[in-house]
Chain A
Amino acid sequence: MKATRRAVVAASGAAALGLAGCTSDGSTSTPPPPGSGGSSATEPPAADPDQIALDRAVAITTDLLVALDGAPPGLDPAGRLAALHTAHLGALHDAMGASATPTAPVPAGLRLTPARLRRRELRAQGELARLAVDAESGALARMFASMSGGIAAAIADRDRVTG
């Protein structure tokens, strides 16, 4: 299952790179610096926006997990939110494949309250939705959108239970 997931995203990433290649010879690329002769061989490789988005999603998810890890007992009954974010982190690492780099733990900051937790989760949900909209790879966009929906559903469930 994990190999399949990685393959899907890797294949779509390759497709995205192919698209980028189609546009790099024309109007939308940054013009070469004066005197460079416009040789593509001397240009540093551009940062892959989807890789940046993946890194950001890993940071968001890790941040949520670390905050939950230090949260008071009862804030995440049955560890459902932690399980959700762990599943997300697994998918993100699979999508990153061999290029995955360990993420430094993020300080949890303020002591979590139910209201802070909710705000934090919904902020992450919104940011993942934006990453989905901006992703170049369709498969990556789908994954971010699903993650965003997963958080929204978990919070809705939490709201339903707590009233």
Chain B
Amino acid sequence: MTVEALQTALAAEHAALYVYGVLGARTSESGTPALFAEVTSAYATHRAQRDVLTRRLLDEGAEPTPASPTYELPATPTAVGVARAAADLEAGCAETYAYVVANTAGDDRHWAVEAVTGAAVRQVAFGRPPGPFPGAPDLA
């Protein structure tokens, strides 16, 4: 179950990196510096998480799931659209990591708990009001 959960998270990180790359390209460092900084920071976090997951799966003797050639992109004609897309992305990541929490133990779970928190905080950074159960909307 651990490997399956980690593979699911890795697939989500591949998607997050792809989408954040596009969001970054659609964000102006001079026009919306705060948003640009948040997108850049989130991209770096997800890249680090992808690398951790890849190493962890290799340690387990598993073949890390590869990135897809392309991903569905949200419509982001404005800065508000970029922020909304990023918040949606983080909400999805929180759900993925909540799933990982439920299906791992020990260090893997500890890491996933922190990832849930990180995704929840980033949603707020992108302007989404905080909810009581990030990653687990069924509990609300």
| A111 interfacial contact with B, CB 8 Å | no
B interface SS class: helix
Please determine whether A152 and B136 come into contact, CB atoms closer than 8 angstroms.
no
Which A residues are CB-close (under 8 A) to B138? 1, 4-5, 8
Looking at the complex, which one of A88, A149, A157 makes contact with B119 (CB distance below 8 Å)? Answer: A149
| A156 close to B121 (CB less than 8 A) | yes
Residue in chain B with minimal CB distance to A5: B139
Cβ 8 A contact of B134, one of A4, A88, A149: A149
Q: Are A143's CB and B114's CB within 8 A?
A: no
Within 8 A of A (CB), among B116-136: 116-117, 119-121, 123-125, 129-136
User: Which residues does chain A contribute within 8 Å of B109, judged by CB atoms?
Assistant: 132-133, 141
B98 interfacial by beta-carbon distance below 8 Å: yes
Cβ A153 vs Cβ B120 within 8 A: yes
Given A138-B101, A138-B103, A145-B101, do A153 and B130 touch, yes or no (CB 8 Å)?
yes
Q: Is the CB of B116 within 8 A of A156?
A: no
Contact call B131/A150, Cβ cutoff below 8 A: yes
A133 and B120 contact, CB distance less than 8 A: no
Chain B neighbourhood of A87, CB < 8 A = 132-133, 140
Say yes or no: is B102 at the interface (Cβ < 8 Å to chain A). Answer: yes
- Asked if A51 CB lies within 8 Å of chain B CBs, one says no
Q: Are A153 and B114 in contact (CB under 8 A)?
A: no
For residue B3, CB closer than 8 A to chain A, the reply is: no
For A133, list chain B residues within 8 Å (CB). Answer: 106, 109-110, 113
| A84 in contact with B130 (CB, 8 Å) | yes
Task: For B102, list chain A residues within 8 Å (CB).
Answer: 12, 138-139, 141-142
Which residues of B sit under 8 angstroms from A5, Cβ to Cβ?
138-139
The smallest beta-carbon distance between B76 and chain A, in angstroms, is: 22
Q: Is the CB of B101 within 8 A of A150?
A: no
Beta-carbon contacts under 8 Å, A1-51 to B: 1, 4-5, 8, 12
CA distance A91 to B124 in the complex (A): 22
B112 within 8 A of A: yes
Asked if B130 contacts A146 (CB within 8 A), the reply is no
